[in-house]
Amino acid sequence: MRKELNVATHIKDIVRRLNEAGYETYIVGGAIRDLLLNRIPKDYDISTAARPEQVKEVFGRKRTMIIGKRFRLVHLYHGEEIIEISTFRQAPQAAGVRFDGRVQPENQPEKMIFSDNQYGTAEEDARRRDFTVNALFYNPENCEIIDYTGSGVDDIKTGTVKVIGDPIVRFEEDPVRLLRALKLVGQYGFRMEQFTEEALFKQMPLIIHASSSRMTLELEKIMKGVHSHKILPVFQRYGFLKYFLPYLDKNWHTKSADYAIRLLEGRNRRVSERAFRDSISIAMAALALPFIEHRSGCDSGALWEFQPRTPGLINQVIREVFMPHVLVKRLLIAAERMLYLQTALVNSSKVSRIIDMSGYIHARELMMIQNVVEWHLDNLDKKWPEQPAIKVKRNRRGDNRHRSRLRPDIKTPAV
């Protein structure tokens, strides 16, 4: 099948350079799915016949880094963007063996894969992928879409999530596929093919064997994206949320949870409209805020009037909401800081004092989200400037040095 897709120019150049170096190369996975759905891909993945070391030779060691043990691939740096380049794989021949050669403990699934570094062909790589809608390969040089499974293009058209191969086995090989199947349902409004859905319900308890680091990474991806308000309800409906965010699942049928999802929707809308960047910490704070209000005796959605009298209350609630995930410290600090600032922003008239505080910009955005979703106060955005002023300070050498009015001793995470 030939169809010209609107691929970013620098991605086409990467594919071209690898092909010119003698390595068969394609754009793969989610980017092709998104382009066929007329969506802008959030990122691009590239798969090639080149080994990781050969990719480094093509693009230079300063622009590339080999990462991963279970699945080795190359990160190629293009400005601030990171493009993942993987080598064609074949289905692992020895399930149950770790990348370090050790056999997995007896309580883990027999067919669970711990090492995925057996290189293969493009077709073998396609057939070892999780779902048909993620197994399309695209060559931007001749506009050819290769559908090795034979149903990927049709499944995208019909919005069908279908596992490649035996779904019982494929979910056991990698339980994180359970999460990814549900993400497709939530993010795109797809439906599950019957056998895939039946296998998902049967194999769902296996998710406890998934790597905690991989699950936390999936959480960060969901929070960073603009579909969390659709994905989390799907998780809850299928019974997956009790494994992923048990605190939220336990409190799902409460006013606090309802308000939390509405705040996430408001945040995601503003990110989609480019009103603010895709900060993970703001999404985390939005999800936790209603539960902090409830624990503080406030009604969900009320203008903040509480002063945290219990030391560490905000930190404690954030950790409970996101258990069992171990949050990156800078994300936790940023979320906690902006939540502490909410009362001051809403009730204080001393703009000049508040604007100096570290985390002000993030806290202001969280307040704007609440205002759009619940408060509907007039001119709130005009009361609080969008950017803090910049002071110009002359250093000892007499050079002009620009300094933010944020506290210099605390760096506000750009997260």
Query: Which residues form the catalytic set?
Result: 43, 45, 130
- 25-28 and 45-48: which strand pairing? antiparallel
- Mean pLDDT score of the chain: 87
- Residue 101: other Cβ atoms inside 10 A: 8
Share of the chain above pLDDT 70, in %: 86
Nearest to 369 by CA among 299, 291, 294, 272: 272
Per-domain residue ranges of the chain: 1-158, 248-404
Q: 110, 99 in Cβ contact below 8 A?
A: no
In angstroms, the CA 337 to CA 306 distance is 15
Which tokens go with 255? 């006013």
Which one has a higher pLDDT value, 389 or 381?
381
pLDDT at 415 over 80: no
In angstroms, the CA 115 to CA 11 distance is 28
Q: 405, 388 in Cβ contact below 8 A?
A: yes
pLDDT of residue 305: 67
In angstroms, the CA 287 to CA 298 distance is 16
pLDDT tens track for 324-369 = 999 899 999 999 999 988 888 877 777 777 888 888 999 999 999 9
pLDDT of residue 171: 96
- Residue 182 banded pLDDT, cuts 50, 70, 90: very high
DSSP 299: P
In angstroms, the CA 177 to CA 183 distance is 10
In angstroms, the CA 28 to CA 252 distance is 36
Cβ within 8 Å of residue 165, ≥6 positions away:
127
pLDDT of residue 399: 44
In angstroms, the CA 256 to CA 250 distance is 12
Q: What separation in angstroms does the CA of 250 have from each of 91, 183, 204, 320?
A: 38, 20, 18, 11
In angstroms, the CA 155 to CA 149 distance is 11
CB neighbour burial string for 350-361, b if at least 16 within 10 angstroms, e if fewer: eeeebbebbbbb
Backbone φ and ψ for 50, nearest 5 degrees, come out as: -70, 140
Cβ within 8 Å of residue 22, ≥6 positions away:
none
Q: What's this model's pTM, rounded to 2 decimal places?
A: 0.86
Cβ within 8 Å of residue 232, ≥6 positions away:
186, 222, 241, 245, 248, 261, 264
Which tokens go with 15? 């594919």
- Residue 409 banded pLDDT, cuts 50, 70, 90: very low
Q: 307, 275 in Cβ contact below 8 A?
A: no
pLDDT tens track for 94-139 = 554 444 444 455 567 777 876 666 899 999 999 999 999 999 999 9
pLDDT of residue 116: 62
Fold for 1-158, please state it: Beta Polymerase; domain 2 (3.30.460)
Q: 231, 182 in Cβ contact below 8 A?
A: yes
Cβ within 8 Å of residue 14, ≥6 positions away:
46, 59, 76, 78, 83, 85
Rounded to an integer, the average pLDDT of 198-206 is: 97
Share of the chain above pLDDT 90, in %: 70
